[in-house]
Structure 1
Amino acid sequence: MSEDSTAFLLIYIITFLIGFPNAMLAFCSCIRKIQRKPVPIDMFMLNLAVSDLFFLTFLPLKMKEAADNMSWSMPRVLCRFSVIVFFAPLYSSSLFLAAISAERYVCVAFPFKYKSPKRFIYTILICVFIWVPVVIISIFPYMAAFSDSDEVDNNTNKPQNCYINFTAKQLKALLPVRMSLAVLFFLLPLLVCCFCYIALIRILMKCPLFKRQRKLRVIGLLVGTLLVFAISFAPFNASHIAGFIKKQTPNWRMNTLMLSTLNACFDPIIYFCISKDMRKAIKVCVKTLRNVLPNKAICCCCRKLKNGITKISCN
Structure 2
Amino acid sequence: MINSYRCPFLQRIFLFPVLYTVLFLVGIVMNGLAMWVFFQIPSKSNFIIFLKNTVISDIFMILTFPFKILSDAKLAPWTLRGFVCRVSQVIFYFTMYISILFLGLITIDRYQKTVTPFKTSSNLLSTKILSVVIWIAMFALSLPNMILTNKEQTREKVKKCALLKSNFGLTWHETVNYICQLIFWISLFIIVVCYMLISKELYKSYKRTKCTGKVSRKTVNLKVFIIIAVFFICFVPFHFTRIPYTLSQTRDVFECSAQNTLFYMKESTLWLTSLNACLDPFIYFFLCKSFRKSLLNMLRKQASSELGTKIKERTDGDSSEETPM
**TM-score bracket relative to the smaller structure:** 0.7 to 0.9
Residue aligning to 1:195: 193
Superimposed CA distance per residue, residues 136-178 of structure 1 (whole angstroms, 9 cap, x where no aligned partner): 111124533x14x22x74xxx7374362536782434432331
**Structure 1 residue 179: Cα displacement:** 2.0
Relative to structure 1, the CA distance from residue 85 to residue 207 in structure 2 (aligned partners, 3 Å threshold; closer, same or farther) is: same
**Partner secondary structure for residue 88 of structure 2:** helix
Pairing 1:138–2:142 present: yes
Q: Specify every segment of 5 or more residues in structure 1 that has no aligned partner in the other structure, as ranges.
A: 290-315
1:53 aligns with 2:59: yes
Q: Which residue of 1 aligns with 2:26?
A: 18
1:180 aligns with 2:174: no
Q: Where does residue 310 of structure 1 map in the other structure? A: none
Distance 1:24-1:260 versus aligned 2 partners, 3 A rule: same
Q: Give the distance between the partners of 1:241 and 1:77, measured in 2 at CA.
A: 23
Q: In the alignment, which residue of structure 2 is the partner of 1:95?
A: 101
Aligned pair count reads 277
Q: What is the rounded CA distance, in whole Å, between the counterparts of 1:205 and 1:131 in structure 2?
A: 37
| SS of equivalent to 2:136 | helix
CA RMSD, Structure 1 to Structure 2 (Å): 3.6
1:205 Cα deviation from its structure 2 partner = 1.7
* TM-score (norm: length of structure 2): 0.71
Matches within 5 A, 1:49-198: 49-68=55-74, 72-74=78-80, 76=82, 79-111=85-117, 114-118=119-123, 120-144=124-148, 146-147=149-150, 149-150=151-152, 153=154, 158=156, 160-161=158-159, 163-165=161-163, 169=167, 170-184=169-183, 186-198=184-196
Q: Secondary structure of 1:34's match?
A: coil
Structure 2 CA distance for aligned equivalents of residues 94 and 62 of structure 1: 21
Partner of 2:312: none
Distance 1:50 1:217, change over 3 A: same
**Cα deviation digits, residues 85-143 of structure 1 (max 9, x gap):** 2211111011011010011112222456x42532x222212211211111111112453
TM (normalized to structure 1)? 0.73
Instruction: Give, in whole Å, the separation in 2 of the partners of 1:175 and 1:106.
Output: 36
How far apart are the structure 2 equivalents of 1:69 and 1:7?
14
More displaced stretch, 129-138 vs 224-233? 224-233
Moved more, 123-132 or 166-175: 166-175
Using the alignment, how far apart are the partners of 2:121 and 2:226 within structure 1? 27
Residue pairs, 1:149-298, within 5 angstroms = 149-150=151-152, 153=154, 158=156, 160-161=158-159, 163-165=161-163, 169=167, 170-184=169-183, 186-208=184-206, 211-236=217-242, 239-240=245-246, 250-251=259-260, 252-253=262-263, 254-255=266-267, 256-279=269-292, 281=295
The residue aligned with 1:302 is none
Distance 2:296 2:142 in 1: 34
Q: Conserved in 2, the CA contact under 8 Å of 1:16 and 1:56?
A: yes
Q: Is the 8 A contact 1:221 1:273 kept in 2?
A: no
CA contact (8 A) 1:221 1:270 kept: yes
Superposition deviation, residue 229 in structure 1: 2.3
Q: Which moved more, 1:240-249 or 1:49-58?
A: 240-249
Ranked by relative contact order (alpha carbons within 8 Å, sequence separation 6 or more), the top structure is 2
- Shift of residue 46, structure 1, vs aligned partner: 0.6
Partners in 2 of 1:131 and 1:3 — Cα distance?
A: 34
Summarize the Cα distance change of 1:130–1:159 in structure 2 as closer, same or farther, 3 Å threshold: closer
- Distance (whole Å) between structure 1 residues aligned to residue 191 and residue 235 of structure 2: 10
CA distance in structure 2 between the partners assigned to 1:270 and 1:72 by the alignment: 38
Once the two structures are superposed, residues 169-208 of structure 1 have per-residue CA deviations (whole angstroms, 9 ceiling, x without a partner) of: 2434432331222112x11111111111221121112114
Say if 2:87 and 2:146, in contact at 8 Å, map to a contact too. Answer: no
Displacement of 1:12 after TM fit? 1.1
